[in-house]
Structure 1
């Protein structure tokens, strides 16, 4: 019985069969075989065709291998352990919720939590589409969601990207965009939600997804406002920072499988936006948030800086929910003042 429970965890705990977590190990084994085959082929070409052709083949093989390995290097759905097996439920935090599975635009089955305010007020208050950061699953963000629920009095739709938690498929930039679009479409079909007050929130990697959907013509007029927290300008920029190499600036863009070019999309956005930046973020340089803020040319933007905010814990800083609540009040104004329009706020 214990062995059976190890291999297949109960559905009421929102779990999936353990074999689905084996994909990373299988990929590593396949990569090792591919590398071995490449080395053998290299020596065969060198023996029969000469060194120059063999070196060209090796270079192309390395580039191709790195390109197709980028998903494995960028996304961490298996961290921490059991993130693909067990997803904490909102009921563990006293939140009412609906557990929902929808089809993404390509048919991939993705997982949602719909957390609504109790009573008729749920039809009036704003609804947040919550796009989480990298690693783990959406259940790991529920402590933050309790704050949104109680402090902002909002409904929340939590999206679990493909390849994360209980969602099917494998992570990819294009896939994440499709998943976010499907989540937006789901919200727009709900007659029990206020469709005039849709907020898109994205943290870190989720911020890039939020910027993409808000920059799209088909959704920009349906989104009330956007909030991004500790997100980056682009993956090429992040690669330069993380690898501490200026040479990466000269790598052609087509060699990046995942790009997330948020800096290019800012000028297209016409949705009010709040940037929440932690100045002690050691993963994404806070300067990237400033660059995104400067690149935005829409009707209303604010940036709030928390001096003691780190990459994953800025939401714990004093004044966090109060500043978001104030931004929402400003957004609700028909004619914000000039001081409201392009405001920089620093919290000490």
Structure 2
């Protein structure tokens, strides 16, 4: 997410584009796909990863990862991954990943994270990312998570109280949208943004009609326990976004402000894993 030039700024206010144009300008950078789903002849798919996916486990561990397609209500076929990290997991995390990565690049992280906090992880690629068809847009983002939610509920029979919605960066946008409409086990917002305009123009104090990703207006409707995580030195989405989102969450739990962390290294700090373990295995259980 980059700031806009003066000429783009003037253009924006002289003839404001539709929200999807702002969304595309600010947010979407799909990488070259790092994986594929190969049909095995039985109606199932085998996950194949390129070197750029940087798989960190064994070939046997790859059997814990199930890939498949589902279709959104906007007609796009999107790729999904279900990672069986634990046989005793109470919760399944519906993970909406950040920008400029796809499911292939995230697969090792999912297996490692789920194993450490005793959760299974279900994730999906946004329209235009990985093997998912279509183009990235704000409307598709919401349709994508709706399709993922439906697949998780119906294919695996997991009830809402056992689902944790986890959004990272741009992934907090569909996460907040879904969490504002359904009560779930919990919500985790990792480096959230208030809205697209507030990222591009930090002094924005209101939500304009042409703004994109207005999470700040949806967060007050989230009724599930919510953990907000943000690095204090975030150079992409300023720390103030996390603070304000936290203040607007009706059921916010103690947040995790990672001192000195930027936008892409929060997971490298020991406090990250410790806070997640405490939240998932202690606070949500008691």
TM-score bin, normalised by smaller chain: 0.7 to 0.9
- Deviation of the 1:255 alpha carbon: 3.2
1:136 is aligned to 101
2:257 is aligned to 305
Judge which range, 227-236 or 70-79, deviates more.
Answer: 70-79
Say whether the 8 Å CA contact 1:126–1:198 is kept in structure 2: yes
SS in 2 for 1:201: strand
1:321 is aligned to 273
The change in CA–CA distance for 1:309 and 1:142 in structure 2 (over 3 A counts) is farther
The change in CA–CA distance for 1:145 and 1:260 in structure 2 (over 3 A counts) is same
Judge which range, 305-314 or 161-170, deviates more.
Answer: 305-314
Question: What aligned pairs does 1:89-128 form with structure 2 within 5 A after superposition?
Answer: 92=55, 93=57, 94-95=61-62, 96-117=64-85, 121=87, 124-128=89-93
Structure 1 residues 193-220: Cα deviation after superposition (integer angstroms, max 9, x where no partner):
565310110000101211110001xx22
User: Which ranges in structure 2 are unaligned for 5 or more consecutive residues?
Assistant: 1-10, 37-47
- Deviation of the 1:75 alpha carbon: 3.6
Q: Which has the higher contact order (CA 8 A, sep 6+)?
A: 2
Say yes or no: does 1:293 pair with 2:263: no
SS in 1 for 2:173: helix
Distance 1:85 1:190 in 2: 22
- Deviation of the 1:293 alpha carbon: 0.8
Structure 1 residues 314-344: Cα deviation after superposition (integer angstroms, max 9, x where no partner):
01111311211101221222xxxxxxxxxxx
2:210 is aligned to 255
- Deviation of the 1:176 alpha carbon: 0.7
Provide TM-score, normalisation by structure 2.
0.80
Say whether the 8 Å CA contact 2:83–2:111 is kept in structure 1: no
Structure 1 residues 66-103: Cα deviation after superposition (integer angstroms, max 9, x where no partner):
87743442243344xx2377684789333411111001
Structure whose alpha-carbon radius of gyration is higher: 1
User: Which ranges in structure 1 are unaligned for 5 or more consecutive residues?
Assistant: 1-58, 334-348
Distance 1:91 1:249 in 2: 41
The change in CA–CA distance for 1:282 and 1:327 in structure 2 (over 3 A counts) is same
1:271 is aligned to 224
RMSD: 2.8
2:164 is aligned to 199
Say whether the 8 Å CA contact 1:129–1:201 is kept in structure 2: yes
Of 168, 182, 187, the residue aligned with 1:226 is: 187
The change in CA–CA distance for 1:174 and 1:327 in structure 2 (over 3 A counts) is same
- Deviation of the 1:301 alpha carbon: 2.0
Provide TM-score, normalisation by structure 1.
0.66
2:140 is aligned to 175
Say yes or no: does 1:330 pair with 2:283: yes
Say whether the 8 Å CA contact 2:26–2:200 is kept in structure 1: no
- Deviation of the 1:269 alpha carbon: 1.1
The change in CA–CA distance for 1:83 and 1:74 in structure 2 (over 3 A counts) is farther
